[in-house]
Amino acid sequence: MVVKNVQDLDVLPRNSSDLFDDDGRPKRTGTVWTASAHIITAVIGSGVLSLAWAVAQIGWVGGPVTMLLFSLVTYYTSILLCSCYRSGDSVTGKRNYTYMDAIQSNLGGMKMKICGIVQYLNLFGTAIGYTIASAISMIAIQRTSCQQTNGEDAPCPVNGNPYMIAFGISQIIFSQIPDIDQLWWLSIVATVMSFGYSTIGLGLGISKVVENKEVKGTLTGVSIGTVTPEQKVWRTFQSLGNIAFAYSYSMILIEIQDTVKSPPSEENTMKKATLISVAVTTLFYMLCGCVGYAAFGDSAPGNLLATGGFRNPFWLLDIANIAIVVHLVGAYQVYCQPLFSFVEKEASRRYPESSFITNEIKIQLIPGKPFNLNLFRLVWRTIFVMTTTLIAMLMPFFNDVLGLLGAVGFWPLTVYFPVEMYIAQKNVQRWGTRWVCLKVLSLACLVVSVAAAAGSVVGIVSDLKVYKPFHTDF
């Protein structure tokens, strides 16, 4: 009887509404909550830990205002991007499975290629940034253990390379999960972890303010004298990049939207998920960034829970840093799956006859649910993870890397392409009020991105003056 049922499944027509979507692909199962989990996993990442430092560079006025403006821009442009998932009708139109597909449908081939280069380089860079961030947290755990034994002021130098390698090994294993739709459970775990360590950082910040019996910080941030006028300018620009990075997820929004079931329409579901996610992350960012600045003032560290940040209680800091590492394992996968998928689809398109690329080997890991092992996926994803790990070991500049990634990706992926696609899809009248407002928004964000990139590059150049290859003593 069981065999008969299996055979029946094999001969079901491809248009079966129980198994397949309107385009013949396997039925999607995502909801507003799984989409929100994916977004929060991608957004509330290691960037939250650098927000106190970013606020310290621009002060009590500029810090909260900048975070609020970035959140509003991100939310607005994400709503524009949601409407580009289907071409034509929002319910029955042709689906665009990836960000690049949406660009192709709305703007054409050349812009699609430019978008692809920027998007996938940004995803590649984010993987490097997350590898560095995971090592910082693991180093912090070892350092607190050392300081418990040798005293709080003991230097306890720790080499981060073994931790980056360990993180890379874990990513090689998780990278064999075929696609982002099967990552929902990892995203939920990562989301819980992100709330956990953000809450711990917030609680420690409040206790520090109470202990200090004052709210530290100034209206304009780090003062000239503590830093030179040039450093003040470049650090201000770099802080913009850090905040932009903290909100970056547009480059994977379409891919997340492609996991959402329909009906209701994917656009409506994604708009709700975007509102929930951006609201939640903005609340956490405001609290963590501002409370961290109130606790440390102008000396706020680049990472609240690691170097130069909180020191007690040791056990709570260890829990927070473990949560960060677990979260980064999931965040790495959410960001890299679109890049994995692109390479594998392109390889299948170019070499459809290659058994190395197309054959799936069924391995029975769980009774009743075989795992499909693809040799090309195994080899290529392993090489990818090894490459990101090696580069992370070569250039462990946490804040500067985050700032540069945020700057490079923010304008084109979060603002320019969503605005241009919306104008093309909705036939927004040229030189009309809406058209002018959208263009001004895009231009203003371009200026911010260029300034942030310049600040981060200056920071990296400064780091390179004392740089030692493979020497990651954070």
CA distance 295 to 312: 14
Question: Which amino acid does the sequence have at 121?
Answer: L
CA distance 449 to 407: 5
CA distance 352 to 358: 7
CA distance 22 to 33: 22
Beta pairing class for 86-87 and 94-95: antiparallel
Compute, in degrees rounded to 10, the torsion defined by CA atoms 283, 288, 290, 295: 150
In the prediction, which pLDDT does 436 show? 92
CB atoms within 10 A of CB 212: 13
Question: Which amino acid does the sequence have at 138?
Answer: M
In the prediction, which pLDDT does 5 show? 40
Question: What is the average pLDDT across 140-168?
Answer: 79
- Whether 381 and 367 have beta carbons less than 8 Å apart is answered as no
In the prediction, which pLDDT does 14 show? 46
In the prediction, which pLDDT does 356 show? 80
In the prediction, which pLDDT does 12 show? 41
Q: Hey, what CATH topology would domain 35-464 get?
A: Amino acid/polyamine transporter I (1.20.1740)
Q: What is the CA radius of gyration of the chain?
A: 23
Q: What whole-number percentage of the chain has pLDDT above 90?
A: 4
CA distance 320 to 292: 15
Q: What is the mean pLDDT of the chain?
A: 78
Give bridge partners of residue 336 from the DSSP assignment.
none
Residue 9 has pLDDT above 60, yes or no: no
Residue 270 has pLDDT above 60, yes or no: yes
* Chain segment 56-86, per-residue pLDDT in tens: 888 888 888 888 888 888 888 888 888 888 8
CA distance 124 to 232: 30
CA distance 108 to 88: 15
Compute, in degrees rounded to 10, the torsion defined by CA atoms 237, 238, 244, 246: -150
pLDDT band at 471 (very low <50, low <70, confident <90, very high): low
For the ranges 67-76, 108-117, 298-307, the lowest mean pLDDT is seen at 298-307
CA distance 306 to 136: 7
**DSSP code per residue over 274-305:** HHHHHHHHHHHHHHHHHHHHHHHGGG--SSTT
CA distance 141 to 321: 7
For the ranges 41-50, 157-166, 202-211, the lowest mean pLDDT is seen at 41-50
CA distance 9 to 5: 6
CA distance 100 to 119: 9
Give bridge partners of residue 26 from the DSSP assignment.
20
H-run or E-run covering 363:
strand 361-366
- Whether 164 and 392 have beta carbons less than 8 Å apart is answered as yes
Exposed (0-12), middle (13-18) or buried (19+): which is 382, by Cβ within 10 Å? middle
* Chain segment 16-46, per-residue pLDDT in tens: 456 666 666 777 777 888 888 878 777 766 5
Q: Which residues lie closer than 8 Å to 266 by C-beta, 6 or more apart?
A: 82, 85, 86, 257, 258, 260
**DSSP code per residue over 109-126:** HHHHHHHHHHHHHHHHHH
Q: Quick check: bond before 13 cis, omega within 30?
A: no
φ/ψ (deg, to 5) at 260: -85, 135
**What distance lies between CA 395 and its chain's CA centroid?**
19
